[in-house]
Amino acid sequence: MAKIRGAVVINTERCKGCELCSVACPQKVLSMNENVNSKGYHFAYMAVPDSCTGCESCALVCPDTVITVYRMKPKKD
């Protein structure tokens, strides 16, 4: 069975860099960007996008609900 792939979209302007999502991710996908948003926070980003399974743990723990998770069905050849 093909692996389910996921992707997350983070509203970087509303992220406050609390790191809860990166701690909650079982695949260690998320890290804080070295750049900052307009409020001066290091925002979360997908450091290892290929490992995301779309499990939604990150979105569930984000206190500001700025993460949207998408699941992609594996393509059939």
Note the residues at the interface with ligand SF4 (CB under 6 A). 6, 8, 10, 15-21, 24-25, 27, 29-30, 44, 52-58, 61-62, 64, 66-67, 69
Identify which of 9, 4, 7, 3 has the alpha carbon closest to the alpha carbon of residue 62: 9
Q: Kindly state the smallest distance separating residue 14's Cβ from ligand SF4, in Å.
A: 7
Q: Kindly state the smallest distance separating residue 34's Cβ from ligand SF4, in Å.
A: 14
Identify which of 63, 51, 45 has the alpha carbon closest to the alpha carbon of residue 26: 51
Is 38 or 77 the residue whose CB approaches ligand SF4 more closely? 38
Containing 61, the helix (H) or strand (E) segment is helix 57-61
At 51 the three-state DSSP class reads helix
Q: Kindly state the smallest distance separating residue 77's Cβ from ligand SF4, in Å.
A: 25
